[in-house]
Amino acid sequence: MDRRTFLLGTLGAAALATTGCVTNKTTATTSAATTTSAAAGGAKLDKIKAAWVYVGPINDGGWTAAHDAGRKAVEAKLGAKVTTTYKENVPEGPEVATVVEDLVKDGNNIIFATSFGFGTAMLASAKKHPDVKFLHATGAWHDTTPNFGTYYGATEEGKFLAGMAAAKATKSGTIGFVAPFLIPEVIRHINAFALGARSVNPAAKVKVVEIKSWFNPAEERKAAESLISQGADVLANGGDSPAPGEAAKAKNIPWVGYDSDQSANFPDIWLTAPIYNWGGYYVDQCQSVLDGTWKKADYYGGMKDGFNLLAPFGKIVAADTKTAIEAKKADIIAGKFDIFAGPLKDNKGADKVAAGATVSADDRQSMMWLVEGVS
């Protein structure tokens, strides 16, 4: 099952709840460029327009803020060669198509859509506008449309390492995880986190609460508080905001973040967080459009190529824990360690991966089972 199948079959056209209304902002340092290039490669351009579509606000302190930092990196690197636009608080539903089509009409050469549920609208627009490049963050579409691609990262690498930090911090042996949706992408992350935790504390348990939203600070905090009431003394999250960190701060328990470095805002409870180098990817894509060398690709970066990163450790992380995590990180980068190598059981005790085997790349993209120790 790929993400498109899951989305259409489970979330439906109405899609997800979000906060606020659609807002947009254009940062213009030049006049608008004329789109003349073909989908793959094309003419070299002196100036381009690039647009981003966000599911949350740019000040969410997590997922969208990190993507917007990547947009700003494009401005800083390419300067007068690019005009950037963003639209925030775009719901995952029928409205996406209108937003994307409006960005095409505005003359954007390349459009980045940064949420799971934006893919259907992006692909439909790509088929209608072959001279515009469309890139969708997350998703396993396996589509051959030449001007449509996907991009994401092997976040399981950072999640595994963050799980190690969480397991070293827990005293009760119970770690809480606030999940946006129990879909393959998130399940893969939960599993990697749990495997990392149990690699240093085999008795560790990971309790999960699903909130059915990517960005809903109130529900994220409510879920975190629920996990604390169930005995979790360390929290982690996979949603877009740092709200679980607020719940952790109120109880003075350690927290693993996601998407952004929140160490300055939560200095007394911060462990670390898996984060992304969106800026490097965005700069490369925009530069290739300028150069006329853009090519369709489904990008899946990792720690080895500097796309996936681990945020700085907090002051509460012990020196020996840091050493162990850095050693495992080095093994991941060197290709000496496979996070999903067997033997692995699911959380019902059934054998899922035999000793000497691993979970294939395709199976990781469609993972719908939880590993041992997750409930």
Tell whether 102 and 228 lie within a shared domain.
no
Q: Let me know whether 93 and 166 are in one domain.
A: no
Tell whether 96 and 233 lie within a shared domain.
Answer: no
Check whether residue 173 and residue 314 sit in a common domain: yes
Quote the pTM value. 0.86
134 in a domain, yes or no? yes
Find, among 359, 366, 363, the residue nearest to 338 by Cα: 359
* One domain, residues 77 and 95: yes
- Residue 111, φ and ψ in degrees, nearest 5: -125, 130
Closest CA to 54 of 142, 140, 117: 117
Report d(CA 275, CA 307) in Å as an integer: 9
Q: How far is CA 9 from CA 15, 119, 180, in A?
A: 11, 14, 17
Q: Distance between CA atoms of 175 and 179, rounded to whole angstroms?
A: 13
Residue positions counted in the chain: 375
Torsion of CA 262, 263, 265, 268, to 10 degrees: 140
Residue 138: what pLDDT? Answer: 85
Q: Would you say residue 198 lies in a domain? A: yes
| 167 close to 196: Cβ distance less than 8 angstroms | yes
Total structural domains within the chain:
2
Domain assignment of residue 370, yes or no: no
Do 257 and 346 have their domain in common?
yes
Residue 173 neighbours by CB distance under 10 Å: 16
Tens digits of per-residue pLDDT, 322-344?
999 999 999 999 999 999 999 99
Let me know whether 288 and 221 are in one domain.
Answer: no
Domain that holds residue 8: 3-153+277-301
In a domain, 372, yes or no: no
The pLDDT value recorded for residue 93 is: 87
Ranges of residues in the chain with a pLDDT under 70 are: 1-41, 140-141
- Report whether 116 contacts 66 (CB < 8 A): no
**Number of Cβ within a 10 Å radius of residue 100:** 27
Q: Which residues pair with 298 in a beta bridge?
A: 150
CATH of the domain at 175: 3.40.50.2300
Q: Which two tokens stand for residue 282?
A: 């965005």
177 and 320 together in one domain: yes
